Amino acid sequence: MNKYLYIGYLGLFFLVVSCESPTEPDIVSPSIEWGSSYTVISGIFNLEVNSYDYYGINKIDYFIEDSLVFTDYEEPFTYEFDTSPYVNQHKINVKVISYDSSNNLSMLEKFLYVINDNNLDGYHDGDIDFLSDLSDINNLNISPLEIGCNVSWDFGRLTSFSIWSWWSCDEDINYIISSIPESISNLTKLERLILIDQNINELPEQFTDLNNLETLKIQGSNLVDLPSDFQNLQSLVELDLSCNNLISFPESITFLSQLEILDLSLNNIEYLPPNIVNLVNLKDLRIGFNSFSGNIPETLCSLINLESLEIPGHTTNDPNDPHSNFDGCISDNWSDFNGTIPECIGNLVNLERLDLQYNKLSGQIPESIGNLTSLEFLGMGYNNFDGGIPYSIGNLINLSGLELSDCNLSGPIPETMCGFPNMTSYIVLDNNSFSDIPECVCNWTYFIGSGIDMSICD
């Protein structure tokens, strides 16, 4: 057989076979999910949908109260929903349907609640009964509203309220809460609670039933103590009790084994309990602006996972002092560490930030400071040290900020500091008594050294 004729027959055969074996039809529905978890909305709200199909999405239909209001053909799939025509507290059914190129479809549906007063100022218990409908919702995000001003509704209705923020309102209108009701214990799925600038002296004992609480911030709220069973909050990862009236470090905190961030600054705490060593997962500890005295406790050296340790002191109770950072909290009882820095500070090898400024520390800066090779910022300014800068400081190869002003330091500036490769932020050595400086000082880009003889750079 002629080979060209053979090739022709072979091509015809494959053409026939291919016509008799069509591609399998697309019967897979597209995936679809909401772009945000908000359930309480106001104003112009973007209804975002994420949808995917291997062969592509043809369109997304948006339905409000079963009426088609918009069709979107291109990503990102978004409908600008104007809630202004709806009365406050309106419960709205929202549905979206995604169609792929083969007309397979997937559907999502949920209820949204409209609040167009920007906040709930002046609302009372009977006005917001609609919130009781949220008792089965696992994750309630409220944005951009402020909830909590002059509101007396029962917390117990929102048994699955996972994220709740109650921000301070205008003090002139006296919208400051002074207590938390016992029924808050019903919010068993609460994960995040923020109370800012309130007037809360204590928390109810039932507060410790919030077993899923991961973040708790009570700032500027006159808190003086914690419930006796506070250690029951074993899910806590972040605890911020700054700017309150705590006079002692609550022992119960030392049993929160999952804690990673702890801020007890701006209180009146006088000492750190030995059990602080139990906080083995702690990464960020802020305890400045308290009533400490004596040496920095060696117990802190056991917190080897710390990445940031901030214990700044203060120079004055004048909030207008540019060196102050009071955040509106001032106490006549504040005092500072006036002893030494323990040699074991070098055990904290994971530290990236160490701030001991504005204390009354004395003695020598320990040589072990050179073990902290992960440090990016070292602040020891405004203390009363003896001797000079340790030569081991040259080991801090990741340092990008060094503050050693007004420290009573003497002797030479170590030549080991010439090896800082990442010193792109600043070096501040103001008002010390250095006897000699290396030539590399002339090349430091951001160097402040009032009182230092810089004639070597002429």
DSSP string of 16-32, one letter each residue: HHHHHSPPPP--PPPEE
Percent of the chain with pLDDT over 70: 74
Position 92 in a domain:
yes
Residue at token pair 């002339």: 442
Q: Rounded distance, CA 316 to CA 330, Å?
A: 10
Which CA distances in Å does 56 have to 60, 103, 116, 165, 281?
Answer: 12, 11, 37, 40, 46
Is pLDDT of 319 > 80? no
Mean pLDDT of 62-78: 94
How do residues 426-441 score in pLDDT, each as one tens digit? 889 999 999 888 888 8
Q: Quick one: pLDDT at residue 24?
A: 73
Q: Quick one: pLDDT at residue 177?
A: 62
Q: Quick one: pLDDT at residue 331?
A: 62
Greater confidence (363 vs 126) lies with 363
Q: Which residues of 284-298 are buried (b: 16+ CB within 10 A; e: fewer)?
A: bbbbbbbbbeeebbe
- The tally of domains found in the chain comes to 1
Q: Give the model's confidence band at 4: pLDDT under 50 very low, under 70 low, under 90 confident, else very high.
A: low
Is pLDDT of 1 > 60? no
Q: What is the CATH number of the domain that holds 49?
A: 2.60.40.10
Q: Which domain holds residue 37?
A: 31-114
Residue at token pair 């006088």: 270
Is pLDDT of 159 > 80? no
Q: Rounded distance, CA 177 to CA 122, Å?
A: 13
Q: Quick one: pLDDT at residue 112?
A: 83
Handedness of CA 321, 327, 332, 338 (dihedral sign): negative
- Top mean pLDDT of 36-40, 133-137, 291-295, 376-380 is at 376-380
Position 100 in a domain:
yes
Q: Quick one: pLDDT at residue 3?
A: 52
Q: Quick one: pLDDT at residue 99?
A: 96
Greater confidence (10 vs 341) lies with 341
- Top mean pLDDT of 136-150, 161-175, 354-368 is at 354-368
Contact 423, 443 (CB under 8 A): no
DSSP state of 425: S
- Mark residue 89 as left, alpha or beta (left: phi above 0; alpha: psi -120 to 50; beta: remaining): left
**For the chain, how many helices (H) and strands (E)?**
1, 23
Is pLDDT of 220 > 60? yes
Q: Quick one: pLDDT at residue 44?
A: 85
Position 65 in a domain:
yes
Is pLDDT of 369 > 80? yes
pTM above 0.85, yes or no: no
A 10 A CB-CB count for 242 gives 23
Q: Rounded distance, CA 106 to CA 98, Å?
A: 5
Greater confidence (197 vs 14) lies with 197
Q: Quick one: pLDDT at residue 236?
A: 97
Q: Rounded distance, CA 363 to CA 239, Å?
A: 33
Q: Quick one: pLDDT at residue 396?
A: 93
Position 85 in a domain:
yes
DSSP state of 380: -
Which of these ranges, 75-89, 110-124, 238-252, has the smallest mean pLDDT? 110-124
What do you get for the CA distance between the two ends of the chain, in Å? 98
Position 333 in a domain:
no
Position 341 in a domain:
no
Q: Quick one: pLDDT at residue 441?
A: 84
Is pLDDT of 175 > 90? no
Host H or E run for residue 9: helix 3-20
Is pLDDT of 169 > 80? no
211 contacts: CB under 8 Å, gap ≥ 6 = 188, 232, 233, 234, 235
Position 303 in a domain:
no
Is pLDDT of 61 > 90? yes
Is pLDDT of 20 > 50? no
Tokens of 406: 């007004």
Is pLDDT of 152 > 60? no
- Top mean pLDDT of 40-54, 200-214, 223-237 is at 223-237
Beta strand pairing call for 377-379 and 91-100: unpaired
Contact 434, 413 (CB under 8 A): yes
Mean pLDDT of 362-387: 96
Is pLDDT of 136 > 60? no
One-letter identity of residue 179: S
Q: Quick one: pLDDT at residue 333?
A: 59
Position 414 in a domain:
no
